[in-house]
Amino acid sequence: MTGLAQLNALPVPLAVQELGSCCGSTAWARRVASRRPFGDASELYAIADEVWWNLTPNDWLEAFRAHPRIGERVGEAPQSHEAKAWSDTEQSGVHAAPGAIRGVLAQANAEYHERFGYIFIVCATGKSGEEMLAMLRVRLGNDPDTELRVAAEEQSRITRLRLEKLLTRAVTNS
């Protein structure tokens, strides 16, 4: 792929596939792809956000399932090779954390999943294992409606970073 121009020119199924590496919601990827062509990256980001915030909670949950739990490497739903690589890089702070932190984080992840019914989703880029654990503990105190909104905000941040990577990768690999 060669940047935004080629994303605009891709056949719909390939555009949906590329966008699906950025966000695991099928509805999101299809709707964003249908809004092409994008005039510039800012327009793509604005449309991505607009589409995200107009999805249903079930669409958000689908996107969450494409992520591995913090500290793990495989999500509940299938991911593209690129999405797996991005996730691994994004979670590098937790992979570098001491074993004790990873163990406590795994227990807190299980508690979170039991409480809310989905994985703890956080934009992990640049965060240490300790920081993510602290965030998880705070968010366990949220009511379900508040937490779903917080998790959706985190997914939106992840999607934006991945869209930036997609466009950078595209330009770099041309």
CB contact set of 88 (below 8 Å; sequence gap of 6+): 73, 95
Cα–Cα distance, 152 to 57 (Å, whole number): 9
pLDDT at 161: 94
Active-site hit among 67, 81, 95, 113? 67
Stated pTM of the model: 0.85
Q: Give me the number of domains the chain comprises.
A: 1
Cα–Cα distance, 101 to 80 (Å, whole number): 28
pLDDT at 174: 41
| Higher-confidence position of 172 and 130 | 130
CB 68 within 8 A of CB 92: no
pLDDT of 2 above 60: no
pLDDT of 22 above 90: yes
pLDDT digits (tens, 9 = 90+) for 131-162: 989 999 999 999 999 999 999 999 999 999 99
pLDDT at 94: 60
R_g of the chain computed on alpha carbons: 16
pLDDT of 76 above 80: no
Token pair, residue 164, equals 């930036």
Token pair, residue 51, equals 């589409």
Cα–Cα distance, 22 to 164 (Å, whole number): 9
- Residue 21, classed as helix, strand or coil, is coil
Least confident range of 2-6, 62-66, 71-75, 152-156: 71-75
Q: What is the mean pLDDT of residues 26-51?
A: 97
Q: How far is CA 93 from CA 15, 101, 126, 150, in A?
A: 31, 11, 7, 21
The reply to whether 67 belongs to the active site is yes
Token pair, residue 95, equals 């992979």
Token pair, residue 18, equals 């590329």
The range of the structural domain enclosing residue 165 comes to 3-172
83 pLDDT band, cuts 50/70/90, is low
CATH number of the domain residue 139 falls in: 1.10.3330.10
pLDDT at 86: 55
